[in-house]
Chain A
Amino acid sequence: MRIGVFICKCGTNIAATVDTEAVAHKALNFPDVVCSTDYMYTCSEPGQKEIQDAIKKYDLQGVVVAACSPRMHEVTFRRAVEKAGLNRYMFEQANIREHCSWISKDRAANTRKAIDLVRMSVEKLRFNQPLFSSQVPINKRVLVIGGGISGIQAALDCADGGLEVVMVERESTIGGKMAKLDKTFPTIDCSSCILGPKMVDVAQNENIRLYAYSEIESVSGYIGNFKVGIRKKATYVDWNACTGCGLCTEKCPAKKSFDGFNEGLNTTTAINIPFPQAIPKKAKIDPAFCRYLIKGKCKICQKICPVDAIRFDMEDEIVEEEVGAIIAATGFDLVDHSVYGEYGGGHYPDIITGLQFERLVSASGPYGGHILRPSDGKEPKNIVFIACVGSRDPSIGRPYCSGVCCMYIAKQAILARDHIPDSNCYVFYMDIRAPGKNYDEFVRRAQEEYGVQYIRGRVGKIYPRGEHLNVQGMDTLLGAQVEVEADLVVLATGIGASAGAKDLAEKLRISYDEYEFFMESHPKLRPVETNTAGVFLAGVCQGPKDIPASVAQGSAAAAKTQALFSRDTIETDPQIARVNERVCIGCGKCIDVCPFGAIQWKTLRDGSQKAEVLDSVCQGCGLCNATCPPKAIQLQHCTDDQILAEIDVLCTGERHG
């Protein structure tokens, strides 16, 4: 093999602490190396041209570049060598920046290490083989999991682009958390007025098939060809017949059912439609409260229903859909504030969450838009808002900022002052985080125009005294303790992952962080993709964000889907596992360890069972390679031979320097 070695100085990033000239000089002595040089910026256009010229001049069959991490520029250099006529896998990149020059200031030691790293790359390259991609067809349908604002945006963008969309929503209506909000910051426009039309669009768009009150049961397959099992939970109402007239909800005698839409501030009927603008506007029965389903007597809804839609014998049903891409948009749930013993541990009715306040102030809420105390229905005069409840608090295992609370309490305080002009609003805060467009101005309006009193400090305790709640805290600007006699306390409850996020992530085979938020592929450069090809993220399921950011990510996920579907086939990555059938003993260990379900049984003509890798599912992690007892399964471009060759020269090769 004829190999060329190119050492990058990366300006001073590498050259300051590595003698690149010495490395290049030393590399000339390595086996098969016919040319070697160093250059200021190898990734630049003239740098790439130098590689391409050398390939022609020296008739190179392989190229080693010693530069930054391959995560940075492997694609760049592969493309460069391919343009000069080499197979792109006849290229190796030695990382002498992140793994070497940036670590130590000892120039001699760094140079020695750089020489070793280049030596290893050369040795690996000597075992490289040209690899080629294959093509698989794409099923151009997309599954959107979650019918909140980001899922709605993603679904509408995909459907408008002509794609068929399958939307799955856990609740009996789409709309998500945004449907519960009264107004939105920083413009105070009505949440349901801007969300409602989009929900209607989802219902009316012919390209969208909506499964409400349904959950993902199973996911198999791979990018371009997923098979998804969807559990349609029993609603006990035939939605094909139900017209959403609501007669049943008026007559249902079980009026103490939990009202999830109103965050438990109110009760509802066992058969219910969550709110008047629900999409789909269909009734469902909550079996935990239905008299007939509990005691076997009642059936009033069945008698009253004008279209005979009630089906007490309904059971869950599993349907299967085939899609080519999946957008996860499962949103969030509030952090459970009952962990805070000092804030009453959830025992006091007049200490409420941010979302409960939204329902209090909403015209469609339990009090028709009048702000009243849940305990006695009296109008509160002193309202205290406490920021960072369940955010930025390592003591309860939530060190992150929820990002939206500073803004929503400013909005809620403004609304409170608007609804009850003679009220006093206090906000206890740690820092005000308002980095969005027109956000800081909005918080200032709360303070200056609406006279909301901002107190910088934490609240140490809330306790009831008579009819009031005494809020004891610290004003760190005054350096004094303060106590407010409040009538209503609103905790700016932080954002946690949606219930069941972890289970869904495991079904989708995507990663999640310690707080169960889904992991993006790269925190800056691939914020919408996951590490499982064909699965994209939208909205708060990936991490706390506000409505504009959720909508933007919904559109971004749709754009990624459109880009994927703009081709009829997808090119597979050849850096995947391959089975040598003559060596495979059919033990099946590789099938057990594969986290992606990429290995299956294959029966040969003689009836023997062998492992077979599904090219488009394999993600090239190499677990099977490490597990296989006879080493029959090998990860291409990272085979045992290639790794052992690198280790051999590192351990036994002569020391240079």
Chain B
Amino acid sequence: MNQTVKRIAYYPGCSVMGTAVEYDQSTRALCAALGIELVEIPDWNCCGSTPAHSYDPLLGAALAGRNLSLAEELGLDVVMTPCPSCLKSLKGALREYQEQRQSFLDILQMPFSGRIRVISVLQMLYEDIGPEAIREKIRYGFANKVVVPYYGCLLSRPPEFARFDDPENPVSMDQLLRAIGLSVPDFPYKTECCGAAYGVTQNHIVGKLTGGILDMARHLGADAVAVACPLCQQNLDLRQAQVDRHCHTSFQMPVVYITQLLGFALGIDPKKLGINKLFVSADDLFKGTSEQLEKLTEPTTA
């Protein structure tokens, strides 16, 4: 991987254009630092999210499939997306293509070979780059910081769909976090439900579930929770004040993207990682480093 630049198709999805803009910023910055050229799929469209496949799985698959067809047109063999929900829709398109090829193609009306690989940013970091390669590139070490990895429901599940990591006890993020020098306790709630879209309709459910996750993180002495999903991040971070009201707590627990942590460890300026976009301040985690960073970055910039 080292110096050779690898080009992969990038499907941002709607979340990272809005509420999770820092996930997009940090993913792009991290990939650049790792020598990966992200080629944003031109004219990409909505993955369909939950409504499309709930209405009609085949139509939903074709909607997501259009993006894959566009990626194939670029001559690329991998599509990466930071959003686990988009990931599921794109993988669903591949599955429908395999199961009902002709109907799928009839709706899509675009050339499609089905040979393209769809991965999450976490899978890319873990499988295509690997904790060891990341360890070699560290330019800033987190001292004595404890971070718990929170995977949520979709990154490793359902297993026959995700085909990534252990569905019940995933360890990919654990190992990436350890690679950048963080202390990572065994986090039993790593795949518990964050409440997902109930944040909108049944707020108290998110309060209870997310409250439990944050409470466990605090119990383990965590300085922050690491995530790889915009919706998890939203429920844990944006709604933390609501959770506090619901649970009568005051967590003040930063919830940061894995790409922000890795990017920071690789020496990327926190501003480029969108640290300022977090609702619960993570400045303690990323503090006092700009000078060190400048020193570190000098040799390369000079």
A→B interface (CB under 8 Å): 340-342, 345, 347, 395, 461, 463-465, 470
Contacts and interface: CB of A to CB of B under 8 A. Distances in A.
B189 interface: yes
B67 to A, nearest CB: 31
A437 B169 CA distance: 41
B188 A341 contact: no
11 contacts: A341-B167, A341-B168, A341-B169, A342-B169, A345-B169, A463-B189, A464-B186, A464-B188, A465-B216, A465-B219, A470-B188
A464 B186 CA distance: 9
B188 A463 contact: yes
A347 B171 CA distance: 14
Given A395-B159, A463-B188, A464-B186, 15 more contacts: A340-B168, A341-B166, A341-B167, A341-B168, A341-B169, A342-B168, A345-B169, A347-B186, A461-B168, A461-B192, A463-B189, A464-B188, A465-B188, A465-B216, A470-B188
Interface of B: 159, 166-169, 186, 188-189, 192, 216, 219
Return the 5 tightest CB-CB contacts between A and B, nearest first. Answer: A463-B188, A341-B169, A341-B168, A342-B168, A341-B166
A461 B167 contact: no
A341 B188 CA distance: 10
A375 to B, nearest CB: 15
B233 to A, nearest CB: 22
A465 B188 CA distance: 9
Contacts of B159: 395
A464 B216 CA distance: 11
Contacts of B168: 340-342, 461
Listed residue (A341, A342, A347, A395) with the most chain B CB atoms within 10 angstroms of its CB: A341
A464 B166 CA distance: 19
A461 B189 CA distance: 9
Nearest to A464: B188
Contacts of A465: 188, 216, 219
Nearest to A342: B168
Nearest to B187: A463
A465 B189 CA distance: 11
A464 B219 CA distance: 11
Contacts, number: 21
Nearest to B156: A341
A127 B174 CA distance: 73
B216 to A, nearest CB: 8
Nearest to B158: A395
B222 to A, nearest CB: 14
B155 to A, nearest CB: 14
A481 B166 CA distance: 24
Nearest to A348: B186
B166 A461 contact: no
A347 B186 CA distance: 11
Contacts of A470: 188
A462 to B, nearest CB: 8
Contacts of A345: 169
A465 B185 CA distance: 12
B225 to A, nearest CB: 16
A470 to B, nearest CB: 8
A470 B216 CA distance: 12
Contacts of A464: 186, 188
B158 to A, nearest CB: 10
A491 to B, nearest CB: 14
Nearest to A461: B188
A465 B219 CA distance: 9
Contacts of A395: 159
B153 to A, nearest CB: 12
A348 to B, nearest CB: 10
A395 B166 CA distance: 13
Nearest to B220: A465
A81 B111 CA distance: 69
Contacts of B188: 461, 463-465, 470
Listed residue (B167, B169, B216, B219) with the most chain A CB atoms within 10 angstroms of its CB: B169
Nearest to A469: B188
A555 B46 CA distance: 68
A461 B167 CA distance: 12
Nearest to A347: B186
A481 to B, nearest CB: 10
A461 B168 CA distance: 9
A131 to B, nearest CB: 53
Nearest to A463: B188
Contacts of B167: 341
Contacts of A341: 166-169
A437 B192 CA distance: 43
Contacts of B166: 341
A644 B240 CA distance: 80
Nearest to B160: A395
Contacts of B216: 465
A341 B166 CA distance: 7
Contacts of B189: 463
A527 B266 CA distance: 65
A342 B216 CA distance: 16
A463 B188 CA distance: 5
A470 B192 CA distance: 14
Nearest to A343: B168
A340 B166 CA distance: 9
Contacts of A461: 168, 188, 192
B244 to A, nearest CB: 21
Listed residue (B159, B166, B167, B168) with the most chain A CB atoms within 10 angstroms of its CB: B168
A436 to B, nearest CB: 33
Listed residue (B167, B186, B188, B219) with the most chain A CB atoms within 10 angstroms of its CB: B188
A461 B216 CA distance: 14
B184 to A, nearest CB: 15
Nearest to B171: A341
Nearest to B159: A395
A342 to B, nearest CB: 4
Contacts of A347: 186
A340 B168 CA distance: 7
Contacts of B192: 461
Nearest to B188: A463
A510 B188 CA distance: 45
Contacts of B169: 341-342, 345
A342 B186 CA distance: 12
Contacts of A463: 188-189
Nearest to A344: B169
B173 to A, nearest CB: 14
Contacts of B186: 347, 464
Nearest to B167: A341
B43 to A, nearest CB: 40
A345 B169 CA distance: 8
Nearest to B166: A341
Contacts of A342: 168-169
